[in-house]
Amino acid sequence: LERDLTPVANFPSGPLVVGVPEKLPVRTMQEFIAYARKQPVSMGTYAPGSYPHMVADQLNRQSGTQIQSVHYKGEAPMWLDLAGGQTQIAIGSYQAFAAVQARGVRPLGVTGSYRSPRLPEVPTLVEQGVDPRLVGLEGGLPLMAPAGTPEPILQALSKVAVEGANTPRAAQLRETFAIPNKPVNLDETRSEWARVVPIWVKLAVDLGIKLD
């Protein structure tokens, strides 16, 4: 990855919501972990190798849970099956979660290092004592350039990304999807990239994903 590409900017995805069916007898993530130690449970994910898939794998490794990942083609069927009780937990975007919340889905927490602006009363998983190296991450869409791209070009691309994120249209989109964070300058992007990439790589390797 680092041999072929270099980061320019990252467009954050915001906190993801962790939801369970209302009938499940748990109200916190620690209660769910205790529940999942006693009997097998299933977690819906929106794709194999996705972040929720990694979370299920690491919870099994770290906490002794018995979570089986069930992979869907996208978030809509994942949340609908959770609302119907076919699975016991799911992780996904606020926008998709909100569409099924009224159908009997309760939020247990959110991923990342800060609470969702749309669910300020719901604590983060980090606040609930889950390993921050796992659930304190915030995903996003990285803007990359080929390794060896001249520094002036990287700086110019970074500037465009930062300025674009400050437009009214971009602000409206972040509001819609409950994403308060914005791309930062190139130096900050590089620093954050160096911090989080080794964590993501370890999660992927533990899951058996080959990074060719």
Q: What is the dihedral of CA 166, 172, 173, 178, to 10 degrees?
A: 100
The token duo for 167 is 């437009």
Q: With 80 as the cut, is the pLDDT of residue 87 above it?
A: yes
CA separation for the pair 158, 9 (Å, rounded): 6
Q: What is the pLDDT of residues 37-68, one digit of tens each?
A: 999 999 999 999 999 999 999 999 999 999 99
CA separation for the pair 144, 185 (Å, rounded): 14
Last residue of some domain: 116, 135, 154? 135
Residue 1 is predicted with a pLDDT of 64
Q: With 60 as the cut, is the pLDDT of residue 212 above it?
A: no
Q: What is each CA distance from 23 to 29, 65, 85, 103, 158, in whole angstroms?
A: 15, 20, 8, 11, 47
Residue 133 is predicted with a pLDDT of 85
Q: Do residues 83 and 125 share a domain?
A: yes
Q: Say which DSSP state 101 is in.
A: G
Residue 134 is predicted with a pLDDT of 86
Residue 211 is predicted with a pLDDT of 56
Last residue of some domain: 135, 169, 185? 135
207 and 47 Cβ atoms separated by less than 8 Å: no
| Residues making up the chain, counted from first to last | 212
**Which residues, in sequence order, are CB contacts of 193 under 8 Å at separation 6+?**
7, 10, 142
Q: β-pairing, 41-45 with 67-71?
A: parallel
12 and 182 Cβ atoms separated by less than 8 Å: yes
Residue 65 is predicted with a pLDDT of 95
177 confidence band (pLDDT: 50, 70, 90): confident
Domain span holding position 116: 17-135
Q: Do residues 197 and 120 share a domain?
A: no
Last residue of some domain: 115, 135, 155? 135
Q: What is the pLDDT of residues 112-171, one digit of tens each?
A: 999 999 999 999 999 999 998 889 988 899 999 999 999 999 999 999 999 999 999 999
Q: Do residues 116 and 169 share a domain?
A: no
Q: Do residues 95 and 200 share a domain?
A: no
Q: With 90 as the cut, is the pLDDT of residue 70 above it?
A: yes
Q: What is the pLDDT of residues 91-103, one digit of tens each?
A: 999 999 999 998 9
Q: What is the pLDDT of residues 7-25, one digit of tens each?
A: 999 999 999 999 999 999 9
Task: Report the percent of the chain where pLDDT is more than 90.
Answer: 83
Residue that is written with structure tokens 């995805």 in the block: 13
Q: Do residues 46 and 118 share a domain?
A: yes
Here the CATH number for the domain that contains residue 71 is: 3.40.190.10
